Copies of this chain bind each other. A is one copy, B any other.
Amino acid sequence: MTEKPLNAETPVAHLQSWITSNAIFFKRNQEQIMATPVDLESWRLLIQGQVEKTIELSFADILAIPKIEVANTLECSGNGRSLLGEKASGNPWTIGGVGNAIWGGVRLGDVLKKAGITSAARHVGFEGLDNPLVASTVKFIRSIPLEKAMDSTILAYEMNGEPLPLEHGFPLRALALGWTGANCVKWLSKITILEQPATGYFMDKVYRVFQKGEDPASGQVVTTIPLKTIITSPENGATLARDTVMVRGAAYGGEADVAKVEVSVDDGKTWRPAEFTGPHERYAWRRWEYKWQVTTAGEYKILARATDDRQQVQPMSADWNVLGYGNNGIREHAVSVTIQ
């Protein structure tokens, strides 16, 4: 965890439920966040660029737009980075840079309709109210393709039944459903409709998948959350004095729908299906459980893998890249069982 800027994983002990409560939802920031929330009365959202008219919306204007509430699992682009076989640059996330919440807000398409977009529009750029670091003038500006913006992106002002907390972007954040956190700009203040993707440090140098010696800007932009599952209990490294072990976790696949989770306790030779144990909503993770009857005490590695509804299977290990994004490799979960 870092304090300035605020970066904190959710401890695995708090990743046991379908809903991740606001207080312990992971936080990932590039800059120090503002000390006090913005004043709702004076806050405005500017919409400019390739639009028929530049407009400014007040918070009351946002509330007057049709509302949508959606369950969406949000993951940091670098979640799982520290578990890669070879070290990669960036925050050393293990598995807790992910959480699931019910987000309330408006469809971005409904918002853009108010400004009217021109036929030249291809991308939607987002800028928030983050204060740039004193030593830096690099703003956190990100853009997403127009198609994603119109199809499945919301601007959220509620999180799990509460106003969006300050650390999560009060009063409004972008939420490209199923995409990583980097695509979901917080403290949103400005939307610019673009002909080309936005440029700058956070578009061209990071949040791209590239190899050593390659130009970052040539790498693919990190978008959808890859298909994977985490094991949330028992804890990695645990010693278990029982012969029945409830293995539990959460599986998610960004824009893909998780169809199956399997568990192996024999190094991947055989796989057994887990049961789903919670709600099933598009864009939200699915909680699962596997009842493991242990016949012989010993050291085991628990593996779990997810399959989506197009029969894509999570890989044993993810392709390495310089900045360690998209690690959806299967994590070996070592436990020691001492049957009573």
Given B20, B70, B279, B289, which contacts A161 in the complex, CB threshold below 8 Å?
Answer: B20
Docked-complex contact A160 and B19, CB < 8 angstroms: yes
Report the nearest B residue to A281, measured CB to CB.
Answer: B279
Known: A244-B64, A279-B279, A279-B281. A161 touches B69 (CB 8 A): no
Docked-complex contact B277 and A17, CB < 8 angstroms: no
Docked-complex contact A158 and B66, CB < 8 angstroms: no
Docked-complex contact A69 and B246, CB < 8 angstroms: no
CB distance from A109 to the nearest CB of B (A): 15
Docked-complex contact A17 and B279, CB < 8 angstroms: no
Given the complex of chains A and B, what is the CA–CA distance between A18 and B72 in angstroms?
14
Docked-complex contact B162 and A289, CB < 8 angstroms: no
Docked-complex contact B289 and A248, CB < 8 angstroms: no
Contacts of A104 in B (CB 8 A): 16-18, 278
Known: A102-B18, A160-B21. A279 touches B244 (CB 8 A): no
Q: Does A168 contact B (CB under 8 A)?
A: no
Bitwise, A12-52 to B at CB < 8 A (1) or not (0) is 00101111111000000000000000000000000000000
Q: Does A275 contact B (CB under 8 A)?
A: yes
CB distance from A275 to the nearest CB of B (A): 7
Contacts of A230 in B (CB 8 A): none
Contacts of A287 in B (CB 8 A): 67, 69
Bitwise, A61-78 to B at CB < 8 A (1) or not (0) is 001101111110000000
Sample of 7 more A-B contacts, CB < 8 Å, known A64-B246, A66-B246, A160-B161: A17-B104, A18-B104, A19-B160, A21-B160, A66-B275, A66-B289, A102-B279
A-B contacts, 24 listed (Cβ < 8 Å): A16-B104, A16-B158, A17-B102, A17-B104, A17-B162, A18-B102, A18-B104, A18-B161, A19-B102, A19-B161, A21-B22, A66-B275, A66-B277, A66-B289, A66-B291, A67-B246, A69-B277, A69-B278, A69-B287, A70-B278, A104-B278, A160-B160, A160-B161, A279-B279
- Interface of A toward B, CB cutoff 8 Å: 14, 16-22, 63-64, 66-71, 102, 104, 158, 160-162, 242, 244, 246, 248, 275, 277-279, 281, 287, 289, 291
